[in-house]
Amino acid sequence: MKNQKSNNMKIRKIALIVAFVIGCTFAAQAQNYNSAIGLRLGVPLSISYKHFLSENGAIEVFGGFRSYSGYGWFNVGGLYQYHKPIPDLDGLSWYFGGGAAAFFWNYDNNFAFGDNDDSSFSLGILGNLGLDYKFENAPINLSVDWVPIFFVNGYGSGFGGGYGAFAVRYVLR
């Protein structure tokens, strides 16, 4: 378990460095977008859809899965993000926000909801802080973020600071 946590930390550090380098390298070639769909490669591995409601305000909805030895979980949630463009770096912005998620835990990695006594349910209040970038000449959006969670109930009750991801999305429009 300790080795897996160490590997997860290394992956997050590498993803942050890659996103920063890409953002700085291609910043002069970026533009805005309205919506995008793709993958969040982190904790948890998720499918993500992001849509801007206004120039600076976006919602991101996601569903993900994470499995460990002896237990696993599936979650669905949403975030509201407020984007602030970084001056002189077109297409690169930082964002912050919050939201909520529902977690469905299972201690034997068998996600048979309903009659399974080994499953539990948790609600989480999410924070969000990250960087977002859109390539000018390609329909690709990249982001990297940290998503601290306060679990309101159930398994994992309390604060969880090890959540976040490097996201790669296809821009729909």
Nearest C-alpha neighbor of 135 from the set 14, 21, 27, 19: 27
> Using one digit for the tens of pLDDT, what is the confidence trace for 52-98?
999 999 999 999 998 877 778 899 999 999 999 999 888 899 999 99
The answer to whether 104 and 113 are in contact (CB under 8 A) is yes
Q: How does pLDDT run along the chain (173 residues), one tens digit per residue?
A: 555 555 555 555 555 454 444 444 343 333 479 999 999 999 889 999 999 999 999 999 999 998 877 778 899 999 999 999 999 888 899 999 999 999 998 876 555 544 454 558 889 999 999 999 999 889 999 999 999 999 998 776 789 898 999 999 999 98
Instruction: Report the alpha-carbon distance of residue 90 to residue 81 in Å, rounded.
Output: 18
Q: What are the extents of the domains in the chain? A: 2-171
14 Cα distance to chain centroid: 16
Instruction: Report the alpha-carbon distance of residue 136 to residue 60 in Å, rounded.
Output: 21
R_g of the chain computed on alpha carbons: 17
Which fold does the domain 2-171 belong to in CATH? Porin (2.40.160)
Helices (H), the chain: 2-26
Q: Which residues of 73-88 are buried (b: 16+ CB within 10 A; e: fewer)?
A: bbbebebbbebebbee
What 8-state DSSP symbol labels residue 86? Answer: P
Whether the bond between 44 and the residue before it is cis, its omega within 30 degrees of 0, is yes
